[in-house]
C-alpha cells in the first residue's frame, strides 16, 4: 500500500484564470446616466414582450430595475443582436440623447511578450485587429512597458471583452508576430535557432558586432596605401559610410526602423507573401 501511494501522481497545480467573472448574460443593459425609475414596470415589460412577439422573437423580459448605470432588463435567454436592436429602438424615444442596448461581458487580461521597442499603441492595436476576425474590442487602454532601460523589447498588457468560455482569449492566445534575429538580422527566426555561426553586423553585414564596426569593417579601417590615403573613422564616431540592409537591400542598417520589414513586423501574412515571391 505504501508503494502504491507513492506512485500516485501529484495533484495538478491550480492555474489562475485570466478571465474575470462577469454578471449573467441573461439580461439587457441600457446605459442611461442619472436615470430615475419612474416608468410603470408592468407596462414596460408588457410592451417590450409584445414587441418581441410581433417580431417572432423567443426572448422575454421578466423584470426591470436600475443597475450597472442604467436600466436593466432581466431576460429568459441570452439576447442576440436582433433583440438588442429592438430594445434600443423601443427606449430611444423615451430618453434624451442616443444609447445602445448591450449585454454584460466579462474581462480577459492578456499580455504580449518581446514586442520590438519603441512601439506605439496604434501599431499594437492595429496588430490585434489583424490577428482576429472580427476584431476583438479592447476594454481598456493598452499599457506598454519597456523590459529594461537598455532593452529593445517591451511587454504590452491589455484587457478585452470576453465571455466565461474565454472565446476571445482563445483567438489571441499563442499568436506570434514575426521577429528579427539579433545575430544575422534576418526576419523569421529566433536568435538561439539561427544557423549562422558568427555574429553579423547590421551596418555592413560583416562578421563582427555593430559595437566594433569601426574597428573591423573595411570601410572604417581606412587605406593608407590609397591615393590619396583614406584615414580611418575616428573612434566613437558613427560610421559615415552608406550602409546596406541585408533584408531589403536599401541604404540603411538592417536594424533601422525605416526598413519595410520593421513596418510589417506584426503582419505575418506579409512575410509569407514575401518569402513566396522569392
Q: What is the pLDDT of residues 1-34, one digit of tens each?
A: 444 455 566 666 656 677 777 778 899 988 776 5
pLDDT of residue 73: 92
* Residue 79 banded pLDDT, cuts 50, 70, 90: very high
Q: Which helix (H) or strand (E) holds 108?
A: strand 106-116
More confident residue, 207 or 167: 207
Query: What is the value of pTM for the model shown?
Result: 0.46
Q: What is the CATH number of domain 106-172?
A: 3.30.70
Residue range(s) of every CATH 3.30.70 domain in the chain: 106-172
The average pLDDT across 58-84 equals 89
Q: Tens of pLDDT along 30-51?
A: 877 655 556 678 888 899 999 9
Mean pLDDT computed over every residue of the chain: 81
Strands 61-67 and 106-116: unpaired
* Residue 196 banded pLDDT, cuts 50, 70, 90: confident
Q: Using the predicted structure, report yes or no on whether residue 85 has a pLDDT greater than 60.
A: yes
pLDDT of residue 38: 61
Q: Which range among 7-16, 134-143, 183-192 shows the weakest confidence by mean pLDDT?
A: 7-16
> Grid coordinates 492595436 are at which residue?
125
Q: Using the predicted structure, report yes or no on whether residue 130 has a pLDDT greater than 70.
A: no
Q: Tens of pLDDT along 232-275?
A: 887 777 888 889 898 999 999 998 888 988 888 767 778 888 87
The stretches of the chain forming alpha helices (DSSP H) are: 2-7, 41-54, 81-91, 121-131, 167-172, 213-216, 218-221, 260-263, 268-277
Apex 99 CA angle, 97 and 105, nearest 5: 155
Neighbour tally for 264: CB within 10 Å: 17
The average pLDDT across 189-210 equals 85
C-alpha distances (whole Å) from 277 to each of 10, 79, 184, 250 are: 52, 47, 21, 18
Amino acid at each position: 500500500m505504501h508503494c502504491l501511494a507513492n506512485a500516485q501522481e501529484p495533484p495538478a497545480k491550480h492555474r489562475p484564470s485570466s478571465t474575470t467573472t462577469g454578471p449573467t448574460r441573461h439580461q439587457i443593459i441600457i446605459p442611461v446616466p442619472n436615470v430615475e425609475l419612474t416608468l410603470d414596470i408592468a407596462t414596460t415589460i408588457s410592451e417590450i414582450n409584445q414587441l418581441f412577439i410581433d417580431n417572432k422573437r423567443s426572448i422575454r423580459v421578466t423584470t426591470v430595475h436600475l443597475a450597472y448605470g442604467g436600466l436593466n432588463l432581466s431576460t429568459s435567454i441570452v439576447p442576440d443582436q436582433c433583440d438588442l436592436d429592438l430594445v434600443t429602438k423601443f427606449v430611444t424615444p423615451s430618453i434624451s440623447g442616443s444609447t445602445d442596448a448591450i449585454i454584460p461581458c466579462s474581462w480577459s487580461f492578456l499580455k504580449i511578450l518581446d514586442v520590438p521597442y519603441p512601439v506605439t499603441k496604434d501599431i499594437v492595436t492595429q496588430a490585434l485587429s489583424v490577428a482576429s476576425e472580427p476584431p476583438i474590442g479592447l476594454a481598456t487602454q493598452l499599457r506598454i512597458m519597456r523590459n529594461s532601460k537598455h532593452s529593445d523589447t517591451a511587454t504590452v498588457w491589455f484587457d478585452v471583452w470576453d465571455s466565461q468560455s474565454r472565446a476571445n482569449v482563445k483567438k489571441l492566445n499563442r499568436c506570434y508576430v514575426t521577429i528579427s534575429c539579433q545575430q544575422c538580422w534576418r526576419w523569421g527566426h529566433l536568435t538561439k535557432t539561427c544557423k549562422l555561426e558568427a555574429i553579423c553586423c547590421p551596418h555592413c553585414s560583416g562578421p563582427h558586432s555593430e559595437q566594433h564596426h569601426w574597428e573591423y569593417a573595411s570601410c572604417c579601417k581606412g587605406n593608407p596605401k590609397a591615393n590619396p590615403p583614406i584615414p580611418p573613422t575616428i573612434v566613437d564616431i558613427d560610421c559615415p559610410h552608406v550602409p546596406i540592409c541585408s533584408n531589403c537591400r536599401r541604404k540603411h542598417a538592417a536594424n533601422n526602423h525605416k526598413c519595410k520589414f520593421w513596418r510589417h513586423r506584426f503582419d505575418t501574412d506579409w512575410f509569407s507573401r514575401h518569402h513566396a515571391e522569392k
